[in-house]
Chains A and B, each alone.
Chain A
Amino acid sequence: MTKIIEPKKQRNIFSRPSSEEGVWSWITTVDHKRIGIMYGYAAFFFLLVGGLEALLLRIQLSQPDNNFLSAAEYNAMFTMHGTTMIFLAIMPISAAFFNYLLPLQIGARDVAFPRLNALSFWIFIAGGLFLYSTFLFGTAGAPEGGYLAEEVSRLASAPNGGWFGYQPNAGLKYSPGTAMDYWAIGLQILGIASLVSAFNFITTILNMRTKGMRLMRMPVFTWMTFAVSFLLAFSLPIIAIALFFVTFDRQFGTTFFLTEGGGDPVLWQHLFWLFGHPEVYILILPAFGIVSEVLPTFSRKPLFGYPAIVFAGFGIAFIGFGVWAHHMFASAISPVAQAGFGLSTMIIAVPTGVKIFNWLGTIWGGRLTLNTPMLFALGFIGMFVIGGLSGVTHSVVPADTQQTDTYYIVAHFHYVLFGGALFGIFSGLYFWFPKVWGRMYNETMGKIHFWLMIIGFNLTFGPMHWLGLQGQVRRTWVYAEETNLGFWNLIVTIGAFILAIATLVFMANWIYSRRKGEVAPFDPWDARTIEWSIPSPTPVWNFSNAPEVKSLDDFWHQKYGEDEDGRAVRREGTDELLLQLEEEGLNPKEEIHLPSPSYFPVVMAFGLPFLGYAIIYKSIPLALIGVIMLLIGGFGWGTEPLEEEFESSEEEPESGESKNYE
Chain B
Amino acid sequence: MSDAHAYPHEPTGVETRKLGFWVFLSTEILFFGTLITTFLIFKGRDFPGIKLTDVYDIPFTSVSSFVLLMSSLTMVLAHNALETNDQEKTRVWLLATAMLGAVFLAGQIYEFTEFYHKGFELSTNIFSSTFYVLTGFHGLHVFIGVVLLLALWGIGQRQKGLSLNEGMNLEFIALYWHFVDIVWIVLFTVVYLI
Contacts and interface: CB of A to CB of B under 8 A. Distances in A.
Interface of A: 108-109, 112-113, 116, 195, 198-200, 202-203, 206-211, 213, 233-234, 236-238, 240-242, 244-245, 248, 252-256, 261-264, 267, 271, 546, 590-593, 635, 638-639, 641-643, 645
Contacts of B193: none
Interface in B1-19: 1, 3-4, 7-12, 14, 16-17, 19
B34 interface: yes
Given A206-B12, A238-B34, A638-B151, A643 B27 contact: no
B48 A262 contact: yes
A237 B23 contact: no
Given A244-B133, A638-B151, A638-B168, 7 more contacts: A206-B11, A206-B12, A209-B9, A237-B31, A237-B34, A263-B126, A271-B34
A245 B38 contact: yes
26 contacts: A195-B27, A199-B23, A199-B27, A200-B20, A202-B23, A203-B23, A234-B30, A236-B27, A237-B27, A238-B34, A244-B137, A252-B123, A254-B122, A254-B126, A254-B129, A254-B133, A255-B126, A256-B38, A261-B125, A261-B126, A262-B47, A263-B126, A546-B7, A591-B3, A592-B3, A641-B1
Nearest to B13: A207
B194 interface: no
A255 B48 CA distance: 13
A113 B24 CA distance: 13
Given A252-B123, A255-B123, A206 B3 contact: no
A262 B133 contact: no
Contacts of B35: 241
B54 interface: no
A112 B38 contact: no
Nearest to A238: B34
Interface string B35-46: 100100110011
A252 B122 contact: yes
Interface string B128-169: 011001000100000000000001000000000000000110
Nearest to B168: A638
Contacts of A590: 3
Given A254-B123, A256-B38, A267-B38, A207 B10 contact: yes
B7 A109 contact: yes
B45 A262 contact: yes
Contacts of A241: 31, 34-35, 38
Interface of B: 1, 3-4, 7-12, 14, 16-17, 19-20, 23-24, 26-28, 30-31, 33-35, 38, 41-42, 45-48, 122-123, 125-127, 129-130, 133, 137, 151, 167-168
B112 to A, nearest CB: 14
Contacts of A256: 38, 126, 129-130
A209 B11 contact: yes
Contacts of B48: 262
Contacts of B38: 241, 245, 256, 267, 271
SS class, residues of chain B in contact with chain A: helix
A560 to B, nearest CB: 26
Contact of B20 (A203, A234, A263, A639): A203
Contacts of A198: 23, 27
Nearest to A592: B3
Given A206-B12, A207-B10, A237 B30 contact: yes
Contacts of A237: 27-28, 30-31, 33-34
Pairs of residues from A and B, 4 with the lowest C-beta to C-beta distance, nearest first: A237-B30, A254-B129, A262-B126, A253-B123
Nearest to A641: B1
Contacts of B28: 237
Contacts of A643: 1, 4
A202 B26 CA distance: 12
B1 A207 contact: no
B49 to A, nearest CB: 9
A349 B126 CA distance: 39
A285 to B, nearest CB: 18
B8 A199 contact: no
Contacts of A263: 42, 126, 129
A261 B123 contact: yes
A200 B24 CA distance: 10
Nearest to B24: A199
A238 B14 CA distance: 28
Given A207-B9, A255-B126, A263-B126, A112 B41 contact: no
B147 to A, nearest CB: 9
Nearest to A274: B34
A643 B1 CA distance: 7
Contacts of A593: 1, 3-4
A203 B129 contact: no
In this complex, the member of B1, B122, B167 whose beta carbon has the largest number of chain A beta carbons within 10 angstroms is: B1
Contacts of B137: 244
A210 B23 contact: no
A248 B31 contact: no
Contacts of A200: 20
A641 B1 CA distance: 9
Contact of B46 (A113, A209, A262): A262
Nearest to B26: A233
A647 to B, nearest CB: 13
A112 B23 contact: no
A209 B137 CA distance: 36
A635 B151 CA distance: 9
A248 B45 CA distance: 20
A210 B10 CA distance: 9
Contacts of B24: 199
Contact of A207 (B4, B12, B41, B122): B12
Contacts of B125: 255, 261-262
Nearest to A208: B9
Contacts of B12: 206-207
Nearest to B49: A262
A546 B122 contact: no
Contacts of B45: 262
